[in-house]
Amino acid sequence: MSVKIVYKNCTGCQACFRHCPNDVIGWNEEKKLPYIAYQDECSHCGVCALECKFDAIKHTMPLACWLDISTLTPAVRPVKDFNWRNWVVK
Ligand code: SF4
Ligand code: SF4
């Protein structure tokens, strides 16, 4: 799994940096932009994406997270339907 910052959308508002409970997101004072400082510490709680008002945080998950290994069928609906902002699968 990984969390990424989409810099073309990022305004440098610092919301993700201020709200990440695990201090995964660092702040580059020179560039005035956030960066992913400790990817492995990310618990994918979704707080950064919820707090970002500019759609500049993306989470990705490996296929294994979306499949039921015993049946090889999707455990949840496709990733494109997952809405991190509302925490629901539509
Ligand atoms: S909350 Fe979004 S727009 Fe603000 S600094 Fe973080 S990624 Fe950039
Ligand atoms: S998903 Fe949670 S732990 Fe991971 S970077 Fe965002 S706020 Fe931090």
- For each of the chain's 90 residues, which pLDDT tens digit applies? 688 999 999 999 999 999 999 999 999 999 999 999 999 898 888 899 999 999 999 987 665 555 555 555 555 555 565 566 655 444
CATH number at residue 85: 3.30.70.20
Instruction: Please return the burial class of 44, using the count of CB atoms within 10 Å of its CB with bins 0-12, 13-18 and 19+.
Output: middle
State how many domains the chain has: 1
Closest ligand 1 atom to Cα of 52: 1
Compute, in degrees rounded to 10, the torsion defined by CA atoms 64, 90, 40, 68.
Answer: -20
- List, in sequence order, every residue forming a beta bridge with 70; answer none if it has no partner: none
Pocket test for ligand 2, best of 4, 5, 17, 24 (most atoms within 8 A of CB): 24
Supply the range of the domain harboring residue 44: 2-89
